Chain A
Amino acid sequence: MTIKIFTLVLLVVSVLAVPKSLSSNTPINNVELSLTPLACFVKKMGDICHLTIKVNWQSVTPVNACLYQNVDKVHCWSATSKATKKVMVSLSENMVFSLRGDNNEIYVQQHVAIAASTSKRFRRRLRADWSLF
């Protein structure tokens, strides 16, 4: 009985704790990041979207931070607690912007999504040839 209660408590704690620990947007050092806009619409998927993204970030305490666009470094600040930056991007798929510290640790990150204005969607062909082939 004790073991069952322990297991139940463990399960509840896990369910409550895991999503928070896995969340990529959880700020480290109380750094907040906001991107505008968060999505870009193209006519159809595969088209390139060109846009200017306004990046705002702020921290409770001054930090050394670099802004990354996927794996590419865009700009760095030293001992800064608040900054704004406009970034011109061309994207054909979803992109991640992250703010990282000196040791490449991710303070916070945000996604910019790409979406098609047409509702056409695709899936893998399973290529069932005629039985003759």
Chain B
Amino acid sequence: MKYLPLLFVFFSQFTFAQCIATNEQCAPIDEWEFSLAIGAGMLTNPLHGGSNIPLVLIPTISYYGEKLFFENNALGYTFHETSALSLSAISLINRENTFFNRWHPSNVFVPINASGISESSPSFDGPKNDDTSLLEIDVNDVANRKWALDAGIQADWFISEESRLVMRLLHDVNNTYNGFNGKIEFSHRFSGFGMPNTKWRITTGLNWLSRQQVDFYYGIGEKDTNKPGYYYQGKSGVNPYIKIHSNYKLSKNWRLTFTARAEFLAQAIRNSPLVEDKLIETIFIGVVYDY
């Protein structure tokens, strides 16, 4: 790990073509860009009682200055940039609380059960051992979790024109879970499958969540229930994920888009009584208009 900076310096000596036009890889400096995707899709919610999140309209907004950039829910400042390496300070909203909000319209109108706590074995009042994996707690019956704002460092290593490696290390800055999270991600862009005007991008990576973050969102304590048998203390974990994304250009402003993503939850998260599914899945297909 200590040789990582040296690797960056070594590979930053290789140069690739500079950005000379607007495309998926390059953004015009000092211009706002806006696009809107309309289609059908879903982000699954892995929590007991959690509603899947419908994806219908997805706006994308970005601004790139010489150093400063803003893209969707991220704000960053690039303090080192070569054709092969970019180092940025970055701040963005943490995803985890997404699953604790009631997104589905029916949740607004349908009353929630008085007690969402259930047991797969109904004959006992509480767990008889430390195995909390058989217990279930509905997300609607635990205390609210706060949104976290994270900030940290991101390194983008442009291995080639088509491939890149992203490494990110963040810490919450609004005193929420008081811990770190990070990711390492490799993506590769290609044309293929005999489809003209189509670009594909396959991405794979690891999301690392610190003990503090897992415990804050997936831990169960006094604030959630008065049954100590359901208490759960989170540990750090790693979620591997894979994603495929494609764009088919229809005209200058219109394109078809498709995204499918699967994230495998770490054991430390799956063991929480709140968690029902091992996977978080995202799928979206639609058309995009680039303004």
Contact = CB atoms under 8 A, between A and B. Distances in A.
Interface of A: 44-46, 93, 120-133
B20 interface: yes
A128 B74 contact: yes
B81 A124 contact: yes
Interface in B56-108: 58, 60, 62, 64, 66, 69, 71-74, 76, 78, 81, 86, 88, 90, 92-95, 98
B182 interface: no
B19 to A, nearest CB: 4
A128 B21 contact: no
A120 B22 CA distance: 10
Given A131-B94, A132-B95, A133-B282, A122 B27 contact: yes
Contacts of A121: 28-29
A133 B73 contact: no
16 contacts: A44-B21, A122-B18, A122-B20, A122-B26, A122-B27, A124-B26, A125-B62, A126-B78, A126-B154, A128-B73, A130-B58, A130-B60, A130-B72, A131-B93, A132-B53, A133-B243
Nearest to B72: A130
A50 B107 CA distance: 65
B22 to A, nearest CB: 7
Given A123-B81, A128-B71, 13 more contacts: A93-B20, A122-B20, A122-B26, A123-B29, A124-B27, A125-B64, A126-B71, A126-B76, A126-B154, A130-B60, A132-B53, A132-B55, A132-B98
Contacts of B172: none
Contacts of B282: 132-133
Contacts of A129: 72
Contacts of A120: 28-29
Contacts of B60: 130
Interface of B: 17-22, 24-29, 43, 53, 55, 58, 60, 62, 64, 66, 69, 71-74, 76, 78, 81, 86, 88, 90, 92-95, 98, 154, 156, 158, 243, 259, 261, 282
- Label chain A's interface by main secondary structure: loop
A122 B19 contact: yes
A127 B243 contact: no
Q: Which 9 A-B pairs have the closest CB atoms?
A: A128-B74, A122-B19, A131-B95, A45-B20, A128-B71, A122-B26, A46-B20, A121-B29, A46-B21
Contact of B19 (A44, A123, A131): A123
B257 to A, nearest CB: 11
A60 to B, nearest CB: 35
A123 B95 contact: no
Contacts of A123: 19, 26-27, 29, 64, 66, 81
Nearest to A126: B156
Given A131-B93, A131-B98, A132-B43, A125 B72 contact: no
Contacts of A128: 69, 71-74, 76, 90, 92
A45 B26 CA distance: 13
B20 to A, nearest CB: 4
Contacts of B29: 120-123
A126 B92 CA distance: 13
A124 B21 CA distance: 10
Contacts of A44: 21
Contacts of B20: 45-46, 93, 122
Contacts of B98: 131-132
